[in-house]
Amino acid sequence: MSVLVTGGAGYIGSHTCVELLNEGYEVVVVDNLSNSSKISLDRVEKLTNKKLKFYEVDLLNKEGLRDVFKKEKIDSVIHFAALKAVGESVKEPLKYYHNNIAGTLVLCEVMKEFNVKNIVFSSSATVYGDPKIIPITEECEKGEITNPYGQTKAMMEQILIDINKADKDFSVVLLRYFNPVGAHESGEIGEDPKGIPNNLMPYISQVAVGKLKSLSVFGNDYNTKDGTGVRDYIHVVDLSIGHIKALKKLERERGVFIYNLGTGVGYSVLDMIKAFERASNTKINYEFKERRGGDIACCYADPSKAQRELNFKAIRDLNKMCEDTWRWQTKNPNGYEK
């Protein structure tokens, strides 16, 4: 079975390539390297002792993508390729709508042309907005989304659902990730944000390693146990394994399937700081700041549907998430560049 992984050189994509190769899938990566480095894929090959095919192609380049489908026999697609910085999407909405939506349309058109009918899509808990129910089940209505990035996720979900309505054989798994963190336990691949990180975990680890001075904790007056925001952090290797389970679902059944990928446990920002200090044996400097625009108090998954239907359960705990992040950070203080 051959799987096309769009955005496969990125953070979650590279970890998923490892799991795919270890499961015996043939892997074809398409990535324009706009937010990643080819070195991640070299390391994937080294870690698995297996080869994958890599095409440096932009999804917006339809001819380039058609060439890949002509050369490779693709059975299924895992679609990671997207821009994902929430703040940037507010400043540059057109860039986000164009890249994420048009990229997905081109991909689906080429899939249709080549009769490829399985897709696993990277969605996000962001589609729930400020959730009405906690823990969040898949039945929870999509909420008011406050940024263009999140809007693109909700729109891409709808595009895939509509394609299935017109062609029942076109089958889709929408995976709504909670907060992916951590790294492969080898420390060879991990998250390599460009510039100053937007997300909590890479920010904490750059403070720990001395690249950044102090963490700003956005808000300490939320209605949570310690006043700081609560999230459902999931280890990226668990998340990647969720994609294999989703592919296997499509090998058994046709339709549209929606799953939360989270642990079901919520941790506050202060919990994360303490856990990282323990795992890294460092001191994290932090100061409380104003709430960040668009943030919600609390968000964690009810992960039971994925457990029931996919036999998926996230098993790596918070300590492992921090230890693995720290190993990646200390082995690669400048990411893939040096």
Strands 76-79 and 2-6: parallel
Determine the Cα–Cα distance for residues 25 and 31; give it in Å rounded to an integer. 18
Judged by CB under 6 A, does residue 84 bind ligand NAD? yes
Binding mask 174-213 for ligand NAD (x = CB under 6 A): ---x--x---------------------------------
User: What's the gap between Cα 191 and its chain centre?
Assistant: 10
Judged by CB under 6 A, does residue 18 bind ligand WQD? no
Phi and psi for 31 in degrees, rounded to 5? -155, 140
Asked if residue 245 lies in contact with residue 311, where contact means CB atoms within 8 angstroms, the answer is yes
Determine the Cα–Cα distance for residues 35 and 81; give it in Å rounded to an integer. 10
Judged by CB under 6 A, does residue 5 bind ligand NAD? no
216 binds, among ligand NAD, ligand WQD, none (CB under 5 to 8 A by kind): ligand WQD
Residues in the interface with ligand WQD (CB under 6 A) total 19
Determine the Cα–Cα distance for residues 97 and 103; give it in Å rounded to an integer. 9
12 binds, among ligand WQD, ligand NAD, none (CB under 5 to 8 A by kind): ligand NAD
231 binds, among ligand WQD, ligand NAD, none (CB under 5 to 8 A by kind): ligand WQD
When binding is defined by CB under 6 A, the residue of 122, 147, 280, 332 that contacts ligand NAD is 122
Judged by CB under 6 A, does residue 84 bind ligand WQD? yes
Judged by CB under 6 A, does residue 259 bind ligand NAD? no
Judged by CB under 6 A, does residue 179 bind ligand WQD? yes
Whole-number Cα distances in Å, 210 to 190, 206, 284, 329, 330:
18, 6, 9, 11, 10
Active site residues: 149
Binding mask 276-295 for ligand WQD (x = CB under 6 A): ----------------x--x
Judged by CB under 6 A, does residue 170 bind ligand NAD? no
Asked if residue 136 lies in contact with residue 301, where contact means CB atoms within 8 angstroms, the answer is yes
The candidate with the shortest Cα–Cα distance to 174, out of 200, 142, 148, is: 142
Asked if residue 250 lies in contact with residue 22, where contact means CB atoms within 8 angstroms, the answer is no
Residues near 31 by beta carbon (within 8 Å), at least 6 away in sequence: 6, 7, 8, 9, 10, 13, 54, 55, 56, 57, 81
Residue 306 CB burial class (10 angstroms; 0-12, 13-18, ≥19): buried
Stretch in the footprint of ligand NAD (CB under 6 A) among 7-15, 130-138, 160-168, 206-214: 7-15
86 binds, among ligand NAD, ligand WQD, none (CB under 5 to 8 A by kind): ligand WQD
Judged by CB under 6 A, does residue 42 bind ligand NAD? no
CB of 46 to ligand WQD, least distance (A): 28
CB of 273 to ligand WQD, least distance (A): 9
Residue 169 CB burial class (10 angstroms; 0-12, 13-18, ≥19): exposed
Asked if residue 5 lies in contact with residue 16, where contact means CB atoms within 8 angstroms, the answer is yes
User: What residue ranges bind ligand NAD (CB under 6 A)?
Assistant: 7, 9-13, 31-36, 58-60, 80-84, 99, 103, 122, 124, 177, 180
Binding-site ranges for ligand WQD (CB under 6 A): 84, 86, 124, 126, 150, 179, 198-200, 203, 215-218, 229, 231, 269, 292, 295
